[in-house]
Amino acid sequence: MLIKQVPEIDKIKFDIENGTLDRSSAGVETNPFDLNALEAAVPLANMGRFVDAINAIAKRFNANIPLFGHAGGGNLHLHVIKVGEASRYHQIKEEVYRTAVSLGGVITGELGVGKDRVGEIVLNLDGVAVNLMRGIKKIFDPNNI
């Protein structure tokens, strides 16, 4: 699979990862839901299906979702650009993650769950596993910091 390199997307990617994104120069308004980063990983055999599904999601929501990442390892970063209100972003996020899981993937490949994905972890893990992890966290982080 050949994924085209786009200099403008490379610049946005660099600025996002380094915390230096100037939203106005990137063509992104100041609304916090105009640019959001997601991550998912799928088996390489399903990478093409995943990319096609993301393009369909972007079209359905009239959003721009450039993809980049470590495609050889099945890990992609998705930047959801100009989706408008928060509810549309959350709908896109849920569809992206559900699609990844339906293709045998996970909702994060390298960045971890963190606060951004904690609500969706149940897409990948059953309640027993989640409760076990919460118990372990409570041992090491009793104040939930």
Ordered by start, the domain boundaries in the chain are 7-115
Give 61's contacts (C-beta < 8 A, 6+ positions apart).
83, 88, 91, 92
Query: Which strand ranges, in their side-by-side order, compose the sheet holding 75-81?
Result: 35-41, 75-81, 67-70
What mean pLDDT do residues 124-130 have?
Answer: 87
The CB density around residue 43, as the number of other CB atoms within 10 Å, is: 12
> Which parts of 18-126 fold into alpha helices (H)?
47-61, 86-102, 114-117
Residue 21 has pLDDT above 80, yes or no: no
DSSP, collapsed to helix, strand or coil, labels residue 107 as: coil
What mean pLDDT do residues 2-29 have?
Answer: 50
DSSP, collapsed to helix, strand or coil, labels residue 63 as: coil
Architecture of domain 7-115: 2-Layer Sandwich (3.30)
The CB density around residue 101, as the number of other CB atoms within 10 Å, is: 16
Give pLDDT, residue 101.
Answer: 94
pLDDT in tens, 26-37: 444 444 444 567
Output 80 or 116, whichever has higher pLDDT: 80
Burial of 59 (0-12, 13-18, 19+ CB in 10 A): exposed
Query: pLDDT grade, residue 103 (50/70/90)?
Result: very high
Amino acid at 137: K
Measured CA to CA, the distance from residue 38 to residue 107 in angstroms comes to 9
Give pLDDT, residue 26.
Answer: 46
Give pLDDT, residue 63.
Answer: 86
DSSP, collapsed to helix, strand or coil, labels residue 15 as: helix
Give pLDDT, residue 1.
Answer: 41
pTM of the model: 0.69
Beta bridge partners of 106: 41
What mean pLDDT do residues 17-33 have?
Answer: 47
